[in-house]
Amino acid sequence: MTEQRVEVRDHYRFSDWLYYTAAGLVPLITAVVAIYPRSALGLVVYGLVVVAGLVAVLYFFCTHCPHYQKPGRFLKCIFFWGVPKFFPPKPTAMSRLEKLAPVGAMGVVFFFPLAWLAEEPGLLLVYLLSWAVFLVTVRRHECRRCAFTDCPANAVPDRADPMG
C-alpha cells in the first residue's frame, strides 16, 4: 500500500470559510428552531453561550495556530474569516488547559439545546447528524493536512520520510 503525500494547508480561501460556516450553521439553526418557540430567554442565553464558546476557542486555541501567527490584523481561516486578532499570538506549545478549555466550551454549546431538542425528535436527529457531518468533514478534509502541529486533533501523517 502506498501512502499519499499530504499537502499541508498554509492558507485558506474565502470560499473555504463559506463552506464550513454553512455546515456549522446547520446544527446551530436547528437548535434555534427548537429553542425559540418555547423560550425566548433560552434563545438569548444560547446565543451568549455560542458567542462565549467561540471567544474561548479563539483565545485558548486559535492564538497558538500558525494561521493566527501570520502578519495582518484579521484572521483568514476556515472558522474565523475577517475577525480581528483580539488577543496576542502565542507562538508556544499549548498547555493542558488551553487544550481542554475549547473542548469544554464547545461541549456546552453542544449540550445546552438538548433539552429543547429532545421534545422534537426530528430536530434532534437533524441536530446530531449535522454535528456529525460537520465534525467528520473537518476531520477528514482539514485535520489530515493541518499546519497546526500542536493541535490535539492534528492527523497529518509523519512528514519525516527517511527515504527522502
Residue of 111, 119, 96, 118 whose CA lies nearest to 50: 111
Q: Do the beta carbons of residue 16 and residue 78 sit within 8 Å?
A: yes
Q: Do the beta carbons of residue 156 and residue 8 sit within 8 Å?
A: yes
Highest mean pLDDT among 3-17, 34-48, 139-153 belongs to 34-48
What integer pLDDT is reported at residue 128 of this predicted model? 98
In angstroms, the CA 62 to CA 78 distance is 11
In angstroms, the CA 156 to CA 6 distance is 7
Place 160 in a pLDDT band, splitting at 50, 70 and 90.
very low
Residue 13 has pLDDT above 90, yes or no: yes
Give the percent of the chain with pLDDT over 90.
Answer: 79
Half-sphere exposure of 81 (CA within 13 A, CB side): 12
Q: Who has greater pLDDT, 22 or 5?
A: 22
Residue 164 has pLDDT above 80, yes or no: no
Task: Provide the whole-model pTM.
Answer: 0.86
Domain ranges of the chain: 14-84+95-145
